[in-house]
Structures are given as structure tokens and as C-alpha cells.
Structure 1
Amino acid sequence: MSSNRHFSPEEMAPAFGPYSHAVEVPAGARTLHIAGQVGVERDGTLPPDAAAQTARIFDNIDLILRAAGMGPEDIVKLNFFVVSSDDLPEIRRVRDSRLKEPFPAMSLVLVPKLGRPEWRLEVDGIAARSDI
């Protein structure tokens, strides 16, 4: 169980999706900064569609979290960089199947392109865990 505190004050508009407006990390928590992840398989292949790329990204993030002794419940922030708004329904479907409450803070940014033309999205993030 994470000791991070999630905030979505009732006095403001509700979140536009499954995310928290803010997450507080306790003093002394270990913090993990996750570099931008793309949907590339271990063998270097890339699935052609946004849903499969999103699933691979979440698989990669899970591998990183496990290597750091953390889990999905420790994610405090995710940033999604998406090339085409047409892919958003698929991306959201996969994201929603992989994240559970309490949700991390999240941002979604539509961008004209990423590092390679075949990449449909990239996700980076921050995780934090208090081992106290």
C-alpha cells in the first residue's frame, strides 16, 4: 500500500478522466523518474496500432517499477505525449484497464511528432514509495 496522498477537491471541477488532481509524496520517500517509454518490444519490433503500443508502454513501466521494488500503486504522475487525437479512444481504453484507484496525476499533450515517425505515443512518469 502506498503512503502517497491523492487529492481531487470537491470544490473544483472533477477530473476529466481517471486521474487525481494532485498527489502528495511523503518526506523521505524513494522517488523514481521514468524516462519516456514507447511501445517497442524487447526484440526491437513495434506494434502498428496505438492500443498495442500503449499496452507495451505499460508493460515496460511495470518492468521498471518492479526493478525498483515498486508497483503501479506507487505511480504519482504520468505524462502522455500523443501524435494523433484519433488514437485517444484506444489509448484511454488500455490506460483505464491498467490503472486502478487511487489514480496518479496525469497530463495529456498532443504533439506534432515524436522521435520516430512510427511512434504513436510516448509516456513518462514519476513513482514514489515510502518504505517506512
Structure 2
Amino acid sequence: MQKITRKNPSNMPPPVGNYTHITRIPKNAELFVTSGQIGVDQEGNIPPTINDQVSNTFSNIKAFLKSEGLDATNIIKVNIWATERIDWDFFYTQWGQLFTTDYPSMTIGYITELGLPEIKIEIELWAAKLEA
């Protein structure tokens, strides 16, 4: 049976966070690509703090996964964009509720602004679902 595999090659430095250097997706997998998920709540409000936005963003990610019959093991790549420093202790608390040790590949970038001035963080996901 084919499966998504993740590895950190021994000839590379170890990851500096909770991610994997390489994620391999077998052929014939169905790919899902999200728009960047932001910290908006169900009523359309964007809270003023980055931690509240992180919390809402992870809620939105979980809703995406549920809507497509996926879970965290299907996530193959995460791109994170933030306009201010991320509180990593808080972020990894949220991250740890989604991922255990089977981490996806990840990129993080700090930028000057996102689509709206009140948005402080945006997380884009790539996921793969294997044919049964």
C-alpha cells in the first residue's frame, strides 16, 4: 500500500522546529491546496492579537480538513506568513493539537503586510489523499 512518507535525511542538519525536511507523495494521490487561512472567526471578525488569530486560523484549518474527509496526516506542506513575531510557545500549543510527531514540510516568512491591514498571520496548506 502506498503512503505519504516523511523524512529528515541524516546528511542534512535536523529541523529547527516541528517540521520535516522531505515529504513524499505517491503518484495517483488527490491533491488539495487551500487559500491562506486567516484568523477570522465564524462571524467574520478578525481579533486584534496574533495569538487569537493563530487560534482561529487553526480552527479554520480543522474545519477545512473535516469538510474534505482529511486529517493532519494528509497535510504535506504548510506555508506560514506573519506580519509580526509569532509567539512560538502559543503557536506550538495549537500546532500540537493538530500534529503529533508526523510533521509536514513547512516554510515560515515574516512579511510587511497581508491582504488586509488587520491580518497578522496566514497559513496555506497542501494536502494529499491516497486512493483507496
TM-score (norm 1): 0.90
Distance (whole Å) between structure 2 residues aligned to residue 41 and residue 86 of structure 1: 19
AA in 2 matched with 1:40: V
Q: How far does residue 87 in structure 1 lie from its aligned partner after superposition? A: 4.2
Look up the equivalent residue of 1:10 and give its one-letter code. Answer: S
The answer to which of 10-19 and 94-103 deviates more is 94-103
Aligned to 1:54: 54
Partner Cα separation in structure 1 for residue 62 and residue 99 of structure 2 = 11
| Cα RMSD, aligned residues only | 1.7
Quote the residue 2:85 is aligned against: 85
1:33, 1:93 → 2: CA distance? 24
What stretches of structure 2 of length at least 5 have no aligned partner? none
TM-score (norm 2): 0.90
Matches of 1:92 and 1:82 in 2, distance apart?
Answer: 15
Q: Matches of 1:51 and 1:85 in 2, distance apart?
A: 10
1:98 maps to amino acid: L
Q: Which letter does structure 2 place at the counterpart of 1:102?
A: D
Aligned partner letter, 1:95: W
Cα 1:58–1:86 change in 2 (3 A) is closer
Q: What does the per-residue CA deviation read over 1:55-108, in whole Å, with 9 as the maximum and x for residues that have no partner?
A: 211111111111111111110000000101254553344324432221000000
Deviation of 1:44 after TM superposition, in Å, equals 0.8
Whole-angstrom CA distance in 2 between matches of 1:88 and 1:112: 19
Matches within 5 A, 1:1-132: 3-85=3-85, 87-132=87-132
Taking only the aligned residue pairs, the percentage that are identical comes to: 26
Contact in 1 for aligned 2:50/2:86 (Cα 8 Å): no
| Structure 1 unmatched runs, 5+ | none
